[in-house]
Every structure is written in structure tokens, then in C-alpha cells.
Chains A and B, each alone.
Chain A
Amino acid sequence: MSSLTSYVAFILALVLQLALLAQATDLLAGHTGRTGLTASVFAGIAGYFYALATVNLLINPWIAVCLALVSTLPVSLFMGYLLLKLDAQGFLIATFALQVALVDLLRNLTLTGGPLGIRDVPAPSLFVFGGATAGSLLIAIPGLLLATIALTLTLGPRSDLGRLFHWIRDDSKSATAFGVHSQNLLLSAFTVHAIIGATAGISFVIVQTYVGPNSFDLWLSLNILAVVFLSGTGGSPSLMLIGASMLVCLIELVNFAPLRPESVGSLQKIIFNLLLVGILVFQRRGIGGPVLEANPSAEMAE
């Protein structure tokens, strides 16, 4: 019974982390029109920061969580300033390249443990709640709750900020003509996206008690995109939780398939990649996303 409970808690942690990362990605992709892979990049940066702070510097886990989140701010402002100068297509390519570069950098740095990464990462505890899974949930549950409330309030139908994001997504030229500083607004969204991604990254490192270069590679980004498109881009932030649940359940079902253990990982990747392609081709709106079409006049003006 105890092992079943810890298994369910582990799965729950994975679902919450994936939902957080999907919310972060969709804030940019669905609401401001910038699809990218930076959510896993920030998850990686914050995860490594937390691991280094707790294992190498022996800083208290709670303080390390705060430091990791705070350290994300200047990095996201700097990266956002550079990346948001690009158009939507350039942004996607640049973030793809950035993620590949980050993984290779982490693999070759001695400070980050090289390809072996950092092991035995401690978890924060609160009252009776301790251990890796509980510590991870202590970060992920309030993180997802806060992110969902914040994003629902700011992107909802009665929010002026959400309207301006959508205006920039649909036609930034007219938004600019009416006095909207598109770059500043996009940068604020990018920073919020980075903080949400970082929260998921810290939670991920805690539940695994390990962080390595492969923890935040392209495979994770593809999973995040699968959740975003399955849930529906530009839709309600709470839908990401449903999409993440469906995807994690699918991962676990494959684990129960009568296959050789070494084949399971490959099968999962094949299924997810095909799922992602299938959603994009046949159900672009996902479970509950809005219909989004490009404005031909705005495209012509670019």
C-alpha cells in the first residue's frame, strides 16, 4: 500500500510539473504568438541552480528554492531582450538552438558534474512532509495553483492585459500604433513564463534527487509541446492539467506493455512524437483551445 501511495504521488508530481511547463510554454505560444522551447531551458537552469546550491554550497533547500527562482529573473530578462527581437519563426529556431547548446554545455562543464550530473539532491521538508516526492509536491502544488490562478486572471476574458497579449499575437503593428509597447509586454510575459518553468524544474530535480544534462533535453520539450497542443494552444491554463494527466497516463501505460525494458523508452518516444504530429494535423485546437487563424493583411505587412 505504501509503495502504491508513493507511486501515485510520484505520478502526481510528474503531472503537475508537466502542466506547469505547458502553462509556461502556452503563455508565450498561445497567448503572445511565440512558440519556443525556453520553458525547459529555464527549468534546467533553475534545477541546476538548486542542485548546486544545496549539494555544493549546502544551502538550506527552501532558501535554495527562493534563490533559484530569483536568479531566473535577470537571466530571463537578458534572454528575453535578445530573443524577442526575433519574429515568431526566428524565435522558435533560436530557442531550439539554445536548448541544444545548453544541454551540451552542461554535459561538458565540470561544475555541473559533466554527463553524470549531480546526485543526491536534498528535498525541502515542511512539518511531517519530507522526502523527495513530498518535497517535490510541496513546490509543484502551490506553484501550479498560483500559476493557474495568475494566468486565468490575466489571460481571462475580462482582463485588459490578456486582450493586449492577444492583440500583439494577432497584429502587433496596429497594437503599436495605438500605444502598446509590444516588446515590453512580451518581455513581462517571457519573465513570468521563465519563473513558472523554473518552478517546474526545481520540483523535477527534487523528485528525481538527481539532475543531469539529459533531464532537460529536447525530449522534455517535445513532451511539453505535446501537452500544449493536446490541451489547446491559447486556451484556458487549467486545461494544461488535463493534457498533462492524459500524457503521463499514456507514458505509464506503455511501461506496463509486455516489452523488453530497453524497448520501452523508444516506444514512448515513437508514440509521443506521432501523437504530437497527429494532434497538429487532425485536431489543431486540442481538447479546448480556440480557433486561431493568421491575419493575411497583418502577414502581408510584416
Chain B
Amino acid sequence: MMLSIENVSYRIGNFVILDQVNAEIRQGDVVALIGANGAGKSTLADTISGFLRPSSGKISLNGSSLTGQPPADIGRQRVSRMFQRQHLAWNMSALENVLCGLDTQSEVSWRKNLFRTYRTASFENEKRERATDLLNRVGLGTKAEMPARNLSFGQQRLLALARSLAHRSDLLLLDEPFMGLKSAALDLTVKLLREELRCGRLLLIIDHSLSIVESIATKFWFMEKGRLTSFSSFASLSGSEMFVRSYLGFGPGEKLRAAETTTNQSCSDLEVSLSIVNSQRKPGRAEVSEVAPPMETDSSFASYIPPTLLALSSLSGGYGSRVIIRNLTLNLLRGDVFCLLGMNGSGKSTLLRLIAGIGKCFSGSISLDGEVIDHLRADERVHKGIRLLLQDHRLFRNLSVSENLLLTAFSEESASMASTGMPLSFAFTPSSTYTNVLRDMQSGISGHDRRLAGTLSGGEQSRVAVKQLGYGRSKLLLLDEPTAGIDGIRKSELITLVKSWKESGLAIVITEHDVDFVLSVATRVAILSDGELDELASVESLTPDRLLLHGS
């Protein structure tokens, strides 16, 4: 078995996304594809799986050409794909989703379904057993009958992985398979992938979790501006200048230190040390343009600062009739960075959504700045200063990056006008938020201002979504897995940004699976388990044993 990529390029107009890519995966290889956000990783996966046709070059699997074939034919030729986004059959149960992966292995027809035989029935039973087994192996055995839409983000990732594994393909293309997974689920996933390797499948993994891909991959591809370089070991990759420069964001003088660190430390240690070093460095010219403008804080801070910003009192809530958060009490002060850990499906995202006004509060109360906000709609809570960064970083994909940012400013304007009761058309005078957005656009802060948001890579979309949070008069930021899908440089930037928000007096609640990130920014840490909160005495008491105990 072999996948061969020969001189593959992909361009949109004059914009080169893939530039003469040459590579191959042989039987037994597990390739980790690493690169900064927007380097072209997902585009390469799209050209292999047929969703994009290469401008030039050839891709072949086991000697037969895949170039120019429709994606369904390529999928049928034993290539399966796990997408960066949650591409699941939303209304079908977890079991049915996995069954779908198995269904594509055999002939499906009206005739076969209309004239069922004993053989058809027993084949269906076999498929159900295999699907149930796969669900058990990814830890979703108890969720088999639950619709995919009701699973948590991490559980949906596991389900997508189970479906990909069900498809008996020669080549598995996994785009961010570890995104949003907690350690217990991560262990299961890594174990599962190792088992799959024994079946002789080719594996291409795109992920930013360096410590995990280091432990599983046998070959490393690094992408920088559409060019691919292959490395035989993680040590050779992490010692290379291009990796240090474009992925970790170090200058040439700092290369030696990074390389030394790599040889002496494990990969996750490297991430911590680099992020800390990065956050301590004085910003250079390039970095100044990337740092978001200082958050506009409420001017009332100066006159009166109530001790508690957010107060949750005996809060219970969920979706429909399902209770997910139970009797939760929490007080947050200004400047608190409260990090929530917990296993997939423990209710972290639900808690953020309840505070933001999405979801149903069954009992208890939520107060912001001493004002009860239970009765307020989500948009009214935004006007009160609550901002939520969703896990899938939703942008208006058919608007440009600039337009997405301008919408944030417009929302701020309409909020302030709504409070004064003035009609929008008469009252519009550019505020500092609006001016900040325009200033950033003129200085090209986002790098892709005119591009449609939908054409950005997942990591780049995440950056724009985070940037949106930086504008306007906020009091409380709710960040749901903010590091998901972002590279090392962006993670360091995010750490700096969160610290600057904290300094400006904002309270921040973060759900996060990246413990290193948590240790870098948190002032308080709690573990959410089955909808109940267990706050740790200090951030330092966040030990591996403690995390394991809670399955986080």
C-alpha cells in the first residue's frame, strides 16, 4: 500500500496554496502533518480526497491515480476522511453514524432493502455489533442511541473518528482528531489508532497536539506557505529552523535554545516552556501588529467596583428536559481567569452557554455586576458585556474578514443606541470600537482582510473569532476551547492576550483541555464532573493525578 503525491500544486488565481508538493506514505507509515494555521494542511487533505482538484501534479493510491476523480469515487476507493469541522449526521444516533461508515463498504440498493433475506438481516446484525464495538472502544458505548447533535464537542470528535475507522479504508486522513479531547479520551484514541496501524492502514494525521503526534507518528511532514518538507523524526523536525521560525515563532537567535530544549525535554514540556518564554519576550515589530487593541473596559470601574462580577447561585440547567448542570454556585471577581476542566460531556460548554443565555436554566440565578440577568435573552446579555467564543468559532463565511470584524463594531453601536433609545440612522457616530476596527483593518492586522471568512483555514477562523472578542465594552469573556486547532505561535499570542484582558479587569471563564495553557493563564481552576463543580485550592494543585481522578 502506498500513497504518492507528485509535484502537486493548488492555486486560486495568483494565490499559491500548495506549491509543488512531493511526498509519499508507505505501508506502516504514520505521517503527522504539521504546520502553522493557513499553511495549506487541510487543502492538501482536500486534494487527496478529491474535494479540490490540483492545479498540477498527480496523486495516486496503490498505483491508481486519484487526480481529478470525484470525491465519492475516491471515498469508495478506500480513502476515509475525518474533517476538522463536525461533519456528522446530526439527527441520527451515534450508532447510526458509525453504521453509515460501515454501510459504504457494501452494495446499497432499493432491491436489497425491499427483498430482504436472512443473509441481509444477519449482515445488518453483524454491522450493528461492529458499530457497537467501535463505540465502546471510543468510550461512547453508553451514548449509542443519543442523537449526534446532543453529544458534547469532544464526544462528537470521537464519534467522527469511530465512523472513519468503521470505513475499511486503506488511507485514513484525520484532520485534527485530538481537538477537544481530554486525557482519558485521548488515551483511548491513541490506543485505537495504534490498533488500526496493525491492520496495515496508511495514516495521515493533521494536528497541533505535538506531544501526541510525536508519540504515534513515524514520519513528520512540515508545511510552510504551501511547501512540504519531510522529516524522519520529531527531533529532526523540532530542530529545524523552519519549524522553530514559522511554527513556534522564534527568531534566528533563539533557535539554539529551542533545539536544546527539544532534545532534553518531552514535547509537552517544550510547549510549556516555549509558551512561557514567548509570553515573557518583548514584542518585536511583527508582533505589535498582531496583538489586539486593549480591551475597552467599563468606565464605571473607576467610580464603583462591586466585589463580585458574576454570581451563579444554585444554578441548574440544560437542554430540553435534560439536566446537565446541577445546583452550581460560583462567584467570579474582576481579573479572575477561571479555567474549567473536565472530561468530554461533563457539561463545560453547557455552563458557558447557560451564562451566555443559550440553553435553559431550570432553577437558580445568574447575576452580573449585582444585576440579575436570568430573564435576559442572549443578545441582551451581550449588551450587558458578556461575550462567548463558541467552540467551532462561527463566522459569517460569506462575508470578508473585515466585514466580520465590522459587524462586531456595528453590534456595539446598536447596543449603545438601544440603551439611549435613539434610532440608529440618526445617532450613528463612530465609537472607539468602530475606530479600532477600522484602524486594524487599515494596518492589515488580520492579514486576510478581504478574504471571505469561509475560505480561511480552521485556525485562521479561530484567530478572527478571538479578535472579535477584543473589540467593545466587555465585562465577562467566555472562551470555549480557545486553543483548539491553533498552532504554537497563536497559542503564545493567545496567552498574552488573555493576560492583557485580565490586567484590564475582565473576568474570563475558559473551558480548556490544554493543561499547559491553563497553567499559563489561570488564576483559579475547577473540575466539572457530571454537572458538579470541584474547585481546586490553587492552580498549582492541578496535578496529573488530580486530572486522572476526574478523567480530564
- CB–CB B92/A170 < 8 A: yes
* Residue of chain A at shortest CB distance from B121: A158
Nearest CB on A from B160, distance (A): 8
Give Cα distance in the complex from A157 to B103, angstroms.
13
Total A-B residue contacts, Cβ distance less than 8 Å? 130
Nearest CB on A from B119, distance (A): 13
Instruction: Take A161-B108, A163-B96, A300-B454 as given contacts and tell me if A295 and B73 are in contact as well, using a CB distance cutoff of 8 Å.
Output: no
- CB–CB B88/A154 < 8 A: no
- CB–CB A163/B91 < 8 A: no
Instruction: Take A154-B114, A179-B76, A300-B394 as given contacts and tell me if A170 and B91 are in contact as well, using a CB distance cutoff of 8 Å.
Output: yes
- CB–CB A292/B108 < 8 A: no
Residue numbers in A under 8 Å from B113 (CB-CB): 153-154, 159-162
One digit per residue, 1 when the CB lies within 8 angstroms of any chain B CB and 0 when it does not, for chain A 152-184 equals 011001111111101101110111111111100
Instruction: Take A166-B91, A170-B91 as given contacts and tell me if A178 and B101 are in contact as well, using a CB distance cutoff of 8 Å.
Output: yes
- CB–CB A166/B72 < 8 A: no
Residue numbers in B under 8 Å from A167 (CB-CB): 89, 92, 100
- CB–CB A192/B90 < 8 A: no
A281 interface contact, C-beta 8 A: no
Residue numbers in A under 8 Å from B71 (CB-CB): 176-177
Interface residues of A in 15-30 (CB under 8 A from B): none
Can you show 19 pairs from A to B with CB atoms below 8 A apart?
A154-B113, A158-B124, A160-B112, A162-B113, A163-B96, A164-B108, A169-B89, A173-B87, A174-B89, A176-B72, A177-B71, A177-B80, A181-B72, A291-B91, A291-B147, A296-B392, A297-B86, A300-B85, A301-B87
Residue numbers in B under 8 Å from A234 (CB-CB): 91
- CB–CB A179/B72 < 8 A: yes
Residue numbers in A under 8 Å from B127 (CB-CB): 160
- CB–CB B83/A177 < 8 A: yes
Interface residues of A in 271-302 (CB under 8 A from B): 290-298, 300-301
* Residue of chain A at shortest CB distance from B78: A179
- CB–CB B109/A161 < 8 A: yes
Give Cα distance in the complex from A247 to B447, angstroms.
58
B359 interface contact, C-beta 8 A: no
Residues in A lying within 8 Å of B, measured CB to CB: 150, 153-154, 157-164, 166-167, 169-171, 173-182, 188, 192, 234, 290-298, 300-301
- CB–CB B87/A298 < 8 A: yes
Residue numbers in B under 8 Å from A192 (CB-CB): 110
- CB–CB A177/B114 < 8 A: no
B11 interface contact, C-beta 8 A: no
Give Cα distance in the complex from A7 to B397, angstroms.
57
Interface residue from A154, A170, A181 paired with B110 (Cβ < 8 Å): A154
Residue numbers in B under 8 Å from A153 (CB-CB): 113-114, 116
B384 interface contact, C-beta 8 A: no
Residue numbers in A under 8 Å from B51 (CB-CB): 173, 177
Residue from B49, B51, B86, B90 whose CB has the most chain A CB atoms within 10 Å: B90
- CB–CB A171/B124 < 8 A: no
Nearest CB on B from A87, distance (A): 14
B81 interface contact, C-beta 8 A: yes
Interface residue from A150, A164, A169, A180 paired with B114 (Cβ < 8 Å): A150
Interface residues of B in 99-140 (CB under 8 A from A): 99-101, 103-104, 106, 108-110, 112-114, 116, 121, 124, 127
